[in-house]
Amino acid sequence: MSNMQRRSLGQTNIEITPIGLGVMQFAGGKGIFRFAFPPMTQAAMNAIVQTAWEGGINWFDTAETYGKGWSEQGLARGLQAAGIDDGEVVVATKWWPVLRTAGNIRRTIADRQHFLAGYTIDLYQVHQPFSFSSPEAEMNAMADLVDAGKIRSVGVSNFSARQMRRAQRALAGRGYPLASNQVHYNLLHRGIERNGILDTAKELGITIIAWSPLSSGLLTGKFHQTPELLARTPRGRRLNLRRQIERSRPLIDLLTEIAPAYDATIAQVALNWLVHFHGDVVVAIPGASKVQHAAEAAATMRFQLSAADMQRIDEATRPPM
């Protein structure tokens, strides 16, 4: 496993590596993700899981809505194929709240357990702040699942600072911490530093899980170096990427300049900044559609950027006040 120090997930006793692996791609072209990701074979999923694990990553993040259980099932099969026992790995998944009430959290937990095939749900997250119920009702339902031994900890995703506080207070009333808030955060999208989310997380001891930490591949530099790749990208992602390529070019140039000193790639420098600049508060879940993506993500944990280099990157990407 990684020589990089593991971190506590929020105020829980669950320990995670600074880099986890997001497995949205394991939705395999199913459901709403058929426009964003091509189908993926189980053999490819197995290889990605094994590579991430062997590289030192000890946790994986999936969700109900990633192919209606398809990603969860693919992850579980990948873990089984790699010979990874339940107690060795940390599994995070999410409940989809839209057009539902908090009661659905209790009613559908058996589905999550079924697709995860015996792997414990270490972190169960409310995927969005939109449902027919309040954050308080959702957190009470989640606390019931912890009480029942069906999940180990509770997180949220895409919650504002105010919504985080409401969730945290409700859980505290049941004797549990709010472990995490999973939000959009990367060097091109630093809004959580301005809108109170990061400050609230630091104040309350909540882990920030950064989704899209490489900005849909933009922060790998591959689209800057090989523009024809854009034409081969699913159209759902292509329009957004095209707008951002020119805007991000100066940053890619800076990361390209810094990377050789660490024998690292541009993507590894971008991820390393994310998981170190704010101390232990932020962890990241890059995705992987190929084995080399998982290997590259894991290898981010073999070095740490200097304070000076982190400062240079900060100054180059800090949003205007």
Q: Tell me the catalytic residues.
A: 66
| Centroid of chain to Cα 291 | 18
168: left (phi over 0), alpha (psi -120 to 50) or beta: alpha
Per-residue DSSP letters for 6-25? PEESTTSS-EE-SB-EE-GG
Strand order in the sheet with 59-61: 21-22, 59-61, 90-95, 123-126, 154-157, 178-184, 207-211, 282-284
Residues in contact with 79: Cβ distance below 8 Å, sequence separation at least 6, in sequence order = 49, 60, 89, 91, 119
Span between the terminal Cα atoms of the chain, in Å = 40
* Residue 198: C-alpha distances to residues 5, 88, 155, 272 (Å): 21, 29, 15, 18
* Structure tokens, 150: 């069906």
* Residue 76: C-alpha distances to residues 61, 120, 227, 310 (Å): 11, 10, 36, 36
284: left (phi over 0), alpha (psi -120 to 50) or beta: beta
- Residue 155 contacts residue 181 (beta carbons within 8 Å): yes
Least Cα distance to 269 among 301, 242, 294, 293 occurs for 301
